[in-house]
Amino acid sequence: MSAMLSVKNLAVAFQTRRGQVDAVRGISFEVSKGEILGIVGESGSGKSVTSYALMRILDAGGTIKAGEATYSGIDLRRAAERDMRDIRGREISMIFQNPRAALNPIRKVGHQIEDVLRHHARATRYDARAKAIAALEAVKINDAEARYNAYPFELSGGMCQRIVCAIALACDPRLLIADEPTTGLDITTQKAVMDLVRDLIREREMSSILITHDLGLAAQYCDRILVMKDGEIVEQGDPVQIFTDPQHPYSRKLVDATPRAGETVRSLLPPEDRGSEPTPIVGDKTLLEVRNLTKTYAGKSGPVHAVKGISFSIKQGQCVGLVGESGCGKSTTSEILVRLMDATSGEVIFDGEDIAQVPARGFAKDARRADIQMVFQDATDSLNPRHTARQTISEPLRRLGRMRSAQVKARIEELATLVGLPLSLLDRFPHQLSGGQKARVGIARAIALDPKFLILDEPTAALDVSIQAVVLNLLVDLRAKLGLSYLFVSHDLHVVRLLCDHVIVMKDGEIVEQGAAQDVMSNPKSDYTKTLLAAAPKPPLRRVTN
């Protein structure tokens, strides 16, 4: 089998103010005709830079320092820019993460496809429209004629990714590079998009490179996987082999940290860090009870029913998972519970009192403010960039706890130790901290006042899997140590199963199923839960060891 793309000792460096940064350090691989190659790695591993280097669309300051990249006999490193423009889109094309941002926001999607068709002389002024519509139909867009005139903001994320695929595939390229194509999409959308991409690749006998941080996803869709770390390939092989018998310590760590069936939260960590999992004590007393909660917004075209009369309860010390896709009402529910938003109707009984009666505006002055805290989704955006970690953690202590300086200092250090944040990092600003450290600061801030109830809004969604593993374990430890109750909001069923005792599945503002986590996961009653479970990537199971 001949190699369609062959990369030898490719090295890419970026010129920055602090000198040269080596993003890719001499990697070699091949992609054969008809093969789907997965490149897996965490942020900063150089996986995306590799693909940009192949397309020669590196950002300013980035250059290919050494090595060869040959596509069907063409030297991609030395080809003239004019020739590269012919190759891009016609021979090799790309699809990107965050599809809505990847499309020109003020140009009709049909015209964006036409731009590519016309540029590569695949269409004339007269048949461009028909060909663009055909390209839309090829990516299974219903009512393609009407969609031709749509702007990206009028389409859903999954639909936008289909349009990006249509642009990429319009000129029948031979190689498709997919750079995190489903990051940020819902799990069912992810499956639909990935299935579509795989089918199109197979149907057109194309080759593909799938770049992802999700080892499970790569295992499901790729013929072969490369694992990258710090600009180097640490391991390559077929997916089952990587999962069952990883050779390199880093791939082993990555495999361990990928949540999947039959694991415990501790087994996400490297074996030497595991230790015994604490058993949380779930009391009989109900801490929080939600009765017939509804929330209706005034929308453009009539009222929007975000939450339609849901009821559930959380016991003292319990961890309840709230699962659903975007738009299901889980964020609205958590915002009402944390009292940042007022409900339209319904009761939220916390510790025997209905806190839904206290308006959200005045809840900051309520004595129970300290009891209900939240850990936000994006560890970076939820920290004030001009505040050090110490200032961030001290905020609730000063404002709600009314502590004096000496007390605050002692408490901050106690909290930092509790969340495993080295004391030397306390005076750093968010941009000087890693993702995991920022997550720890966010958690320390949330538990600063000894709350009874924590709402965790996808606290690990923006983190790399190995850091997610550490943060999840920290949350498990804190819950047992401090007797906290959690509402864990997430779209990732595997993570929810690891952490939660009880699961609530929401769809369109209603609870479609709830019950003990094990029951819901292994024996789902509702069709929607079944769909969700089926859509999640199923990485090969770990070989039974020790």
Partner 1 sequence: MLASTPRLRATLLRIAQSIPVVIGVVVISFLLTRALPGDPAVYFAGVAADTASIEQTRVAMGLDKPLVQQFFIYVGDLLQGDLGQSLSSGRSVAEDLAKRLPASLELTLTALLLAIAIAVPLGVLAATRPGTWVDHLCRVVVTAGVSLPTFFTGILLIYIFYYLLGIAPSPLGRLDFIYLDPDHVTGCYLIDAALMGDWETWRGAAKQLILPASTLALFTLAPVARMTRAAMLTALSSDFIRTARASGLSNQTILYRYAFRNALLPVVTTLGMVFSFALGANVLVEKVFAWPGIGSYAVEALVVSDYAAVQGFVLAMALLFVALNLVIDLLYTAIDPRIGFSSK
Which residues are near partner 1 by CB under 8 A?
55, 57, 59-60, 84-90, 93-94, 96, 98, 101-107, 115-116, 119-120, 151, 153, 164, 167-168, 300
Shorter beta-carbon distance to partner 1: residue 178 or 218: 178
d(CA 344, CA 19): 56
- Residue 233 has which token pair? 């390939």
Shorter beta-carbon distance to partner 1: residue 163 or 372: 163
Nearest distance from residue 85's CB to partner 1, in Å?
Answer: 5
DSSP 388: -
DSSP 88: B
Shorter beta-carbon distance to partner 1: residue 61 or 249: 61
Shorter beta-carbon distance to partner 1: residue 46 or 173: 173
Shorter beta-carbon distance to partner 1: residue 211 or 375: 211
Shorter beta-carbon distance to partner 1: residue 89 or 239: 89
Q: How many CB atoms lie within 10 A of CB 74?
A: 15
Residue ranges of alpha helices (H) inside 288-404 are 330-337, 389-399
- Could you identify the residue written with the tokens 């694992």? 227
Nearest distance from residue 538's CB to partner 1, in Å?
Answer: 30
d(CA 474, CA 470): 6
- Could you identify the residue written with the tokens 């695949």? 122
Residue 120 gets the label, from left (phi > 0), alpha (psi -120 to 50) or beta, of alpha
Separation of CA 148 from chain center: 29
Nearest distance from residue 94's CB to partner 1, in Å?
Answer: 4
Shorter beta-carbon distance to partner 1: residue 90 or 542: 90
Give how far Cα 224 sits from Cα of 182, 208, 238, 503, Å: 19, 11, 4, 35
Instruction: Kindly provide the b/e burial profile for residues 359-380, where b requires at least 16 CB atoms within 10 angstroms of the residue's own CB.
Output: ebeebeeeebbbbbbbbbbbbe
Nearest distance from residue 11's CB to partner 1, in Å?
Answer: 22
Nearest distance from residue 509's CB to partner 1, in Å?
Answer: 22
Nearest distance from residue 125's CB to partner 1, in Å?
Answer: 15
d(CA 252, CA 259): 13
d(CA 504, CA 502): 7
**What phi, psi does 274 have (nearest 5°)?**
-70, -60
Nearest distance from residue 398's CB to partner 1, in Å?
Answer: 37
Nearest distance from residue 301's CB to partner 1, in Å?
Answer: 11
d(CA 517, CA 500): 6
Nearest distance from residue 120's CB to partner 1, in Å?
Answer: 7
> What would the DSSP string read from start to end of 421-475?
--GGGTT--GGGS-HHHHHHHHHHHHHTT--SEEEEESTTTTS-HHHHHHHHHHH
Shorter beta-carbon distance to partner 1: residue 111 or 140: 111
Nearest distance from residue 441's CB to partner 1, in Å?
Answer: 29
516: nearest Cα among 530, 504, 525: 504
Nearest distance from residue 175's CB to partner 1, in Å?
Answer: 12
Angle at 287 between CA 282 and CA 289, to 5 degrees: 120
Shorter beta-carbon distance to partner 1: residue 381 or 414: 381
Shorter beta-carbon distance to partner 1: residue 14 or 151: 151
